């Protein structure tokens, strides 16, 4: 089933304009969510706001938004005042510059969208994608929607173009804020650690080798309850004793590495293997 566009936009740089359709890069409903119910009746409960000063119920039309600039002190804004700050949407993905794709640290990555050519834009769309792939560069662009301005990375993805929403620089915490401790490593420890890495190394990323086990357990429990069955939790494995000797831990890990390494089954080969397994071949 073909994906359904959630909007339209125009990629622009210089005198070039490429109309595109915007698609969500993630599946809706992929996360499991629960509603809050009254335990006695099973009815949905509603959220209400009460005054921290009087304890009385406050209606929505009696509320204003406030920013706490000092503990317990606020400056308030009306909805009309806040709307004045919103970025006016113009559906333009305005390219600012092209940068090497491998120079954009994934720590900045946020929501992913896919872009597809709109009517009459097939050739310029493919040309832009080919140029970025050939040069190894991606486009940094500004994009405004829903009253906000975003920094996005327009990059080749598979056979098309992806638009990766990026976090702003001020949103990223610096590693220098994280206590890293102290400690020296020996050449022997490093050699064993490298052996451990290489023992369970793969040359490609195969995400279909992994699945969300927590989600599977929740789905199974939901279905069991729908079917009127009792749900019992499986016993969890006791945590292993903490190994103090780093060299001994590395040596022990090397002995277990091959057993833990995931099978290399990805893409068409992986799908064919799964089909054969299902068919009992």
Q: Are residues 132 and 195 in the same domain?
A: no
pLDDT at position 123, please? 94
Q: Are residues 114 and 202 in the same domain?
A: no
Cβ atoms 11, 154 nearer than 8 A:
yes
Q: Are residues 221 and 162 in the same domain?
A: no
Burial 220-259 (b: 16+ CB within 10 A, else e): eeeeeeeeeeeeeeeeeeeeeeeeeeeeeebeebeeebee
In a domain? residue 81: no
Q: Are residues 108 and 216 in the same domain?
A: no
pLDDT at position 229, please? 80
Q: Are residues 160 and 221 in the same domain?
A: no
The domain total for the chain is 2
pLDDT at position 259, please? 55
Cβ atoms 136, 101 nearer than 8 A:
yes
pLDDT at position 119, please? 94
Q: Are residues 144 and 20 in the same domain?
A: yes
Instruction: Measure the CA–CA gap between 102 and 80, rounded to whole angstroms.
Output: 42
Q: Are residues 127 and 248 in the same domain?
A: no
Instruction: Measure the CA–CA gap between 117 and 20, rounded to whole angstroms.
Output: 4
- Give the residue numbers spanning the domain of 252: 187-235+242-279
Instruction: Give the mean pLDDT per block of 10 residues along the chain (281 residues).
Output: 88 91 83 88 91 91 90 89 77 94 95 95 96 97 88 96 96 92 90 90 89 85 83 66 69 68 51 47 46
Cα–Cα separations (whole angstroms), residue 129 to 124, 136, 137, 211: 9, 10, 10, 31
pLDDT at position 30, please? 65
pTM of the model: 0.71
């Amino acid at each position: 089933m073909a994906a359904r566009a959630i909007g339209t936009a125009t990629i622009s740089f210089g005198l070039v304009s490429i109309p595109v359709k915007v698609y969500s890069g993630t599946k809706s409903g992929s996360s499991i969510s629960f509603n809050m119910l009254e335990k006695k009746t099973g009815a949905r409960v509603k959220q209400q706001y009460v005054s921290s000063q009087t304890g009385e119920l406050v209606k929505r039309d009696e509320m204003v938004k406030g920013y706490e600039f000092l503990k317990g002190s606020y400056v308030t804004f009306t909805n009309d005042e806040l709307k004045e700050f919103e970025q006016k949407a113009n559906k333009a993905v305005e390219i600012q510059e092209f940068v090497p794709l491998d120079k954009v640290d994934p720590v900045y990555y946020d929501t992913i969208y896919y872009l597809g050519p709109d009517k009459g834009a097939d050739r310029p769309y493919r040309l832009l994608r080919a140029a970025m792939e050939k040069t190894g560069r991606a486009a940094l662009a500004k994009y405004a929607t829903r009253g906000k301005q975003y920094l996005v990375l327009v990059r080749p993805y598979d056979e098309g173009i992806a638009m990766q929403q990026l976090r702003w620089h001020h949103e990223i915490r610096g590693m220098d804020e994280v206590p890293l401790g102290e400690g020296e490593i020996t050449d022997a420890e490093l050699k064993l650690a490298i052996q451990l890495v290489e023992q369970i190394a793969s040359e490609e990323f195969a995400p279909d080798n992994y699945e969300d086990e927590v989600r599977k357990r929740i789905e199974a429990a939901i279905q069991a309850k729908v079917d009127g069955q009792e749900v019992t939790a499986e016993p969890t494995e006791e945590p292993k004793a903490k190994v103090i000797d780093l060299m001994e831990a590395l040596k022990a890990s090397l002995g277990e590495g091959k057993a833990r390494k995931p099978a290399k089954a990805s893409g068409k080969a992986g799908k064919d293997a799964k089909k054969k397994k299902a068919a009992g071949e």
